[in-house]
Amino acid sequence: MKPIAIVYTSNTGYTGQYAALLGQQTGLPVYPLSGPGEGPAAGSPVLYLGWLMAGTVQGYAKAAKRYRVQAVCAVGMGATGSQLEDVRKTNKLPPELPLFTLQGGFDLQKLRGVYRLMMVVMAKTAGKALAGKQERSPDEDAMLELLTHGGSHVCAENLAAVLAWYQSEPQ
Ligand SMILES: Cc1cc2nc3c(=O)[nH]c(=O)nc-3n(C[C@H](O)[C@H](O)[C@H](O)COP(=O)(O)O)c2cc1C
């Protein structure tokens, strides 16, 4: 079933940018996941986007309770299309639910509180481990680059698979 709206959860804005791009590409209205009574009516079929925090798609559990989620986009640091199995497992997504991973961005200056602390530690530990690795996969290279230099990978091209799914979905 085609979604009638795009609903998202973003912390530093990259997921919001993907949601806005998808809105432009599909013509669907875009809403942040918010309080009851806001956004699409409960039970509506939606496309959900959430940022990845320690493997968890932020807001998905809440969105799945309120809406009929037709597909999920998880925005993280890994390359677009990577980590699919892990994300599905960690978030207990049903096998038939379409899942897409999108490479977002990282900017330490935009992070506050505990999230900032977690990423400072992560940049030191995971970043160091990745930097010291002899042979890195392209995904690891992409993650290392983001962790050490920050930046954004948000672009319309990364949405090609999501758009193809949307267009092939029956009404
Ligand atoms: C505390 C914290 C934990 C994160 N954990 C993951 C993770 O497990 N996997 C991943 O790919 N990205 C992870 N990220 C990176 C974010 O998902 C990425 O920066 C994303 O683009 C943020 O989107 P937003 O700007 O919409 O908040 C983490 C970021 C933070 C701050």
Any domain includes 47: yes
Which of the pair, 140 or 71, is modelled with greater confidence? 71
Any domain includes 63: yes
Query: What is the structure's pLDDT at 84?
Result: 97
Give residue 59 CA to ligand 1 midpoint distance, Å.
13
Residue 105 beta carbon below 6 angstroms from any ligand 1 atom: yes
- Predicted model pTM: 0.96
Residue 54 beta carbon below 6 angstroms from any ligand 1 atom: yes
Any domain includes 140: no
Q: Rounded to an integer, what distance in angstroms lies between the CA atom of residue 158 and that of residue 163?
A: 10
Q: Hey, whose CA ends up nearest to atom 29 of ligand 1?
A: 53
CA-based end-to-end distance of the chain = 5
pLDDT in tens, 89-131: 999 999 999 999 999 999 999 999 999 999 999 999 999 999 9
Any domain includes 156: yes
Report, as an integer, the average pLDDT of 134-150.
Answer: 90
Q: What percent of the chain has pLDDT over 90?
A: 89
Any domain includes 100: yes
User: 31: domain range?
Assistant: 5-105+152-168
- Report CA-CA distances (Å) from 53 to 1, 27, 40, 144: 28, 28, 25, 17
Mean pLDDT of the chain: 95
Q: Hey, whose CA ends up nearest to atom 16 of ligand 1?
A: 76
Task: Please tell me the total count of domains within the chain.
Answer: 1
Any domain includes 144: no
Whether the CB-CB separation of 111 and 84 falls below 8 Å is answered with no
Report, as an integer, the average pLDDT of 3-10.
Answer: 98
If residue 160 lies in a helix (H) or strand (E), which one and from where to where?
Answer: helix 160-168
Q: Hey, whose CA ends up nearest to atom 8 of ligand 1?
A: 54
Query: What is the structure's pLDDT at 12?
Result: 98
Query: What is the structure's pLDDT at 138?
Result: 86
Q: What is the CATH number of the domain that holds 16?
A: 3.40.50.360
